[in-house]
């Protein structure tokens, strides 16, 4: 209960940030957000070089800083593109270009030469997948095939699957997901509640041994503290059940639908249609695509880690959702005053 209560203000703050993004002018966001995120990426790389290596730039874990670097790279590229586009004044173009280049250098430099996390291979997979997908979208079949084969060959010859450390990491995460699935099956519809994983998981920490032919637990001894499932989707099912997971999935579907529809919209003035208000439609811009690429990376990391439980990547997720949803269709309803008061009290 204490962990759940502690998480509620964090969740409320992230939701509020995502909603407040919609009230800020888009042109200001298009310049300021990539610039600020590129600045944090460059600072993260600088802190990694300055602080002791075991602190990992202040992130505390090699996977945490790797996830952050991967998720912020699209915004560093957007900042560099904004500075070189010629569509902004030189006072904005110079800082955007310099910080974008610094952010790209810090991110690519860390992932390519300093990181020992296997997450950097996921970043490479994400890059080839996004570029190949763009080629497919624009019907460049040859380049899509070339990039797909190049990515597959790079993965096969990189040696990413060699070594006991990689095998141990995969098996440990598989164990966590299997045991968390048993936890979910105990309360499949509504789950055990927000923040309940660390309290409930020790009961089933070795449940997998009942049907797997193995003589030892990967997370042995029994006192080892898992901390998280290292799979956000499995943990969401265990804590929130099918109902809560469906609600979160609906938010994700709305974000994806907003981006897809916006890519097809033509600029038009808002027209009021009964209770549905269609505001001024805007086409998808570079900020939308940077946010989508960042979200795609975080969704990929969520399969083997817990980026939405760490403040830096959780905040980035809220920002990306707010940026993509900004300017979407709104529904206006007349709410009586007493209902507003009840909502405020609740």
Query: For residue range 33-43, what is the model confidence (pLDDT) as tens digits?
Result: 998 999 999 99
pLDDT at residue 218, as a whole number: 56
* pLDDT band for position 11 (cuts 50, 70, 90): confident
Q: Which tens digit of pLDDT belongs to each residue from 234-243?
A: 999 999 999 9
* pLDDT band for position 346 (cuts 50, 70, 90): very low
Task: Compute the average pLDDT of residues 199-210.
Answer: 81
Count the residues in the chain. 346
Say yes or no to pLDDT of 307 above 90: yes
pLDDT at residue 135, as a whole number: 80
Say yes or no to pLDDT of 302 above 90: yes
pLDDT: which is higher, 342 or 134:
134
Task: Compute the average pLDDT of residues 126-136.
Answer: 77
pLDDT at residue 214, as a whole number: 56
pLDDT at residue 138, as a whole number: 75
Question: What sign does the CA torsion over 123, 309, 72, 67 have?
Answer: negative
Do 21 and 319 form a contact (C-beta atoms < 8 A)?
Answer: yes
Residue 58 to residue 65: CA distance in whole angstroms: 8
pLDDT at residue 276, as a whole number: 41
Mean pLDDT for the chain?
80
pLDDT at residue 161, as a whole number: 59
Q: Which tens digit of pLDDT belongs to each residue from 210-260?
A: 776 655 555 555 556 778 889 999 999 999 999 999 999 988 888 888 887
pLDDT at residue 159, as a whole number: 61
pLDDT at residue 272, as a whole number: 41
pLDDT: which is higher, 85 or 309:
309
Q: Which tens digit of pLDDT belongs to each residue from 144-188?
A: 888 778 777 776 666 665 666 777 778 888 888 988 999 999 999
pLDDT at residue 188, as a whole number: 93
Pick the range with the lowest mean pLDDT from 52-56, 90-94, 217-221, 315-319. 217-221
Q: What is the pTM of this model?
A: 0.83
């Amino acid at each position: 209960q204490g962990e759940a209560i502690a998480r509620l203000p964090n969740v409320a703050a992230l939701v509020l940030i995502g909603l407040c993004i919609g009230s800020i002018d888009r042109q200001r966001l298009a310049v300021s957000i990539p610039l600020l995120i590129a600045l944090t990426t460059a600072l993260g790389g600088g802190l990694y070089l300055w602080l002791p290596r075991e602190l990992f730039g202040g992130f505390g874990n090699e996977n945490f800083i790797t996830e952050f670097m991967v998720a912020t790279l699209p915004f560093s590229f957007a900042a560099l593109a904004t500075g070189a586009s010629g569509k902004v004044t030189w006072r904005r173009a110079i800082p955007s270009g310099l910080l974008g280049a610094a952010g790209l250098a810090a991110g690519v430099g860390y992932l390519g030469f300093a990181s020992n996390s296997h997450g950097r291979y996921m970043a490479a997979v994400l890059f080839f997948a996004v570029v190949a997908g763009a080629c497919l979208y624009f019907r460049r079949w040859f380049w899509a095939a070339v990039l797909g084969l190049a990515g597959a060959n790079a993965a096969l010859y990189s040696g990413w699957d060699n070594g006991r450390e990689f095998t141990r990491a995969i098996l440990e995460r598989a164990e966590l997901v299997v045991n968390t699935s048993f936890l979910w099956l105990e309360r499949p519809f509504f789950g055990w509640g927000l923040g309940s994983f660390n309290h409930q998981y020790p009961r089933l920490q070795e449940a997998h041994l009942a049907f797997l032919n193995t003589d030892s637990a990967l997370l042995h001894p029994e006192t080892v503290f898992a901390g998280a499932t290292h799979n956000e989707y499995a943990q969401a099912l265990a804590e929130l059940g099918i109902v809560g997971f469906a609600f979160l999935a609906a938010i994700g579907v709305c974000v994806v639908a907003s981006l897809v529809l916006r890519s097809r919209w033509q600029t038009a003035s808002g027209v009021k249609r009964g209770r549905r208000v269609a505001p001024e439609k805007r086409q998808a811009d570079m900020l939308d695509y940077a946010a989508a690429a960042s979200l795609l990376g975080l969704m990929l990391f969520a399969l083997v880690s817990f980026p939405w439980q760490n403040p830096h990547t959780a905040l980035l997720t809220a920002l990306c959702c707010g940026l993509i949803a900004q300017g979407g269709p709104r529904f206006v309803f007349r709410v009586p005053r007493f209902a507003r008061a009840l909502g405020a009290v609740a």
